[in-house]
Amino acid sequence: MTRLTGKRALVTGGSRGIGAAIARRLAAEGADVAITYAASADAAGEVVGEIERQGRKALAIAADNRDAKAIEAAVEQAARMLGGIDILVNNAGIFIAAPVNALTLEDFDATIAVNLRAAYIAVRAVLPHMGDGGRIIGIGSNLALQAPQEGLAAYSASKAGLTMMGQALARDLAPRGITVNTVHPGSTDTDMNPAAGAHAPDQVARTASKRFGRPDDIAAAVAYLAAPEAGSVTGTAILVDNGANA
C-alpha cells in the first residue's frame, strides 16, 4: 500500500487508541507522520518507533489541545521537520459525560476547547504549510448525530460542531483543492472504552452488527479520505459505527 508515498501527515492525539491506529495506517500507506500527545510520552514514543521501523519519518510532539499556542507550535514543528503537511487529522479529544445538573461549566468549556476549538486552531495553523490538494479530516462521533443516553450535551455538541465546521471549511478551501471531511466512529475498542468494559453490552446492543469497532476500522476510513482517489469527496461525514445509527 503506497497511495500516500511522499505525503506528510499530522495526527493530533496520536499516541494511543484511534489516533495511534491512524498514524500507523498512514505510515503503512507511505506517509511520513507527526503525532501530538498530551501526557502519554512513552506510548507516543512507541508509535514513533513503529513508524520508523516501516522506513518512514516520524516524530512525537507534546501539545495540550486546550492551549492555542501549543497547537500552533506543534504544527510549526511538524511542518519544519517533515518539510510541510499534506494531511491533517484532528483526532485529539476528551469525553466527559454527565447530566446537565451535574455537568459543570468548566467541563463544558474543556470539551468544546479540546474537541472543537483546537481543531479550528490546527486548521488555521496548517494552511500556510499545506499545498493545493491537501486533506483535512476530523474524527467526530456517531454521538454527534444521535444522543442515545443522558449526559451527552457537551460531547455531542462538540462533535456536531466539528462536523458542521468541516462542512463549512470544505466550501472555504475548495478553490485550493483541499478536501475537508469527518469520520464518525461508533463504539470502538480502546483503553478509554474497552470492548470488555462494563458499559460495552449496552453499546453493542445498539449496533446492527452486534459488535464493537476496532481502531483499524476508523484508520481505514481516514486512509481512504487522505488518498488521491477521494479528491471528489469533501464536506461530508462517514459513519463507521457498525450500524448503531442505522
pLDDT tens-place string over residues 18-55 = 999 999 999 999 999 999 999 989 999 999 999 999 99
Q: Quote the number of domains for the chain.
A: 1
The pLDDT of residue 1: 63
pLDDT tens-place string over residues 179-206 = 999 999 999 988 888 888 888 888 899 9
pLDDT tens-place string over residues 90-138 = 999 999 999 999 999 999 999 999 999 999 999 999 999 999 999 999 9
Q: Residue 83: pLDDT band by 50, 70, 90 thresholds?
A: very high
The pLDDT of residue 196: 85
The pLDDT of residue 171: 98
**CATH code of the domain in which 12 resides:** 3.40.50.720
pLDDT tens-place string over residues 148-168 = 999 999 999 999 999 999 999
Pick the catalytic residue from 37, 120, 155, 224.
Answer: 155
Residue showing cell 491506529: 21
Computed from CA positions of residues 42, 44, 45, 50, in that sequence, does the dihedral angle turn out positive or negative?
A: positive
The DSSP result for 10-55, as a single string, is EETT-SSHHHHHHHHHHHHTT-EEEEEESS-HHHHHHHHHHHHHTT
Is 155 known to be catalytic?
A: yes
**Does any domain span residue 147?**
yes
**Does any domain span residue 214?**
yes
The pLDDT of residue 189: 82
**Does any domain span residue 231?**
yes
**Does any domain span residue 161?**
yes
Task: Supply the pTM of this predicted model.
Answer: 0.96
Angle between helices 153-173 and 118-126 (to 10 degrees): 20
The pLDDT of residue 229: 97
**Does any domain span residue 246?**
no
Helices (H) and strands (E) in the chain, counts: 8, 7
**Does any domain span residue 48?**
yes
Computed from CA positions of residues 14, 56, 9, 26, in that sequence, does the dihedral angle turn out positive or negative?
A: negative
**Does any domain span residue 1?**
no
Question: What is the enclosing helix (H) or strand (E) of 68?
Answer: helix 68-82
**Does any domain span residue 3?**
no
- Enclosing domain of residue 100: 8-240
